[in-house]
Amino acid sequence: MARVSDDARQMLEGSYVYWMALDDTVQRGDLGVVGSVWDCEAGERYVHFANWEGTMPERQLNMCNFQKGTLVHLSKEGLHSAVGEVVLWDEGKLVVDVLGEKVKVPPTHLIRCDFQKHSTVHVLSKPEASDKVYQIGEGLYSLAGGLRDGKLILNTNDGYDFFDPEQLALAKIQRGDYVIAPNGQTGWARGIDADRLHFSVQFEGFAEASFAPSELRRSPLQKDTLVTWTLHYEDVPKGTVGEVQTLNMKDGRMRVRFPKGTWNFRVSQLRPLRFQPGDYVQWKKHDEDIPEGDIGEVVRLKENGKIYIQWPKCLCSFWPSSLKLLPATGSGPLGLCG
């Protein structure tokens, strides 16, 4: 399941977030909505919760995997097979529009649909399905952005068509992904070639080419990927963890934020960290707040190069070397809203 980035820069006005600290007024895991960010100090957000509102540190907030416009399934009899859309935050719960009915539920009663607006998909019933890609809601400005009557809408070039989720397969590569072409060059899947239903990929120097899905590999380096540099120097010591910001199309290098600055690096000189946001880890030590055997979820990179980990009882930061990756990876916060 796709995961919403916990990068604080994504916590804009109207974003749904949940509280990760311990407080008598706001319970850990309570869902709130971010208010105006213009009057906040750096590193803070003003958040409205069901029973309190005020300013709090952004480091103690996580993004909810259900935002306004997210397509979801409901764990409610008679509705679980239909696709609904999150339309509103209401006093700590979410209002979902499904089959024309507005249903108010806690986030724990929702499952994020594998298919979202603008997801790239294959249509299983079509010939050569694996070599053609379509985009949910593409060009559908008047058709609810890709959803109607609980079904997903595609523009298949033969006109608009309606599909149940089980009739589609999510493509391994999504629009906006960084991809590796047959010649080994890294590029950006900027869109879909409407004539061939292939990916349009942009490369260094803004050159473009069209590829069938089977010709491309998804790069292990994506936006927000935690990485280390294979070389080192004074400002980026050996083993320092950074975060990918973007692929610079001018020179084909990855722009990476490290604790002491942000620079462009050759793709071949970067390695993904062994765990990424959303993965489950354990601490090699233990204490009263993190007992032996507790499982935490990787949240985001801290400014000093440590990693924020969400534990059942606390949110703390650790050096990567003090953590071990669990074989099962995460798809959402442990025991909290998605």
| pLDDT tens-digit series, residues 243-255 | 999 999 999 999 9
| pLDDT tens-digit series, residues 6-64 | 777 789 999 999 988 777 778 888 899 999 888 888 889 999 999 899 998 888 898 99
For residue 140, is pLDDT > 70?
no
| pLDDT tens-digit series, residues 61-98 | 989 999 999 999 998 766 667 889 999 999 999 999 98
- pLDDT-based confidence at 335, cuts 50/70/90? very low
Show me where the domains of the chain are located. Answer: 120-170, 178-218, 226-272, 279-329
User: Does the domain formed by 279-329 have CATH 1.10.760?
Assistant: no
Question: Which pTM does this prediction carry?
Answer: 0.84
For residue 334, is pLDDT > 50?
no
Contact 278, 329 (CB under 8 A): yes
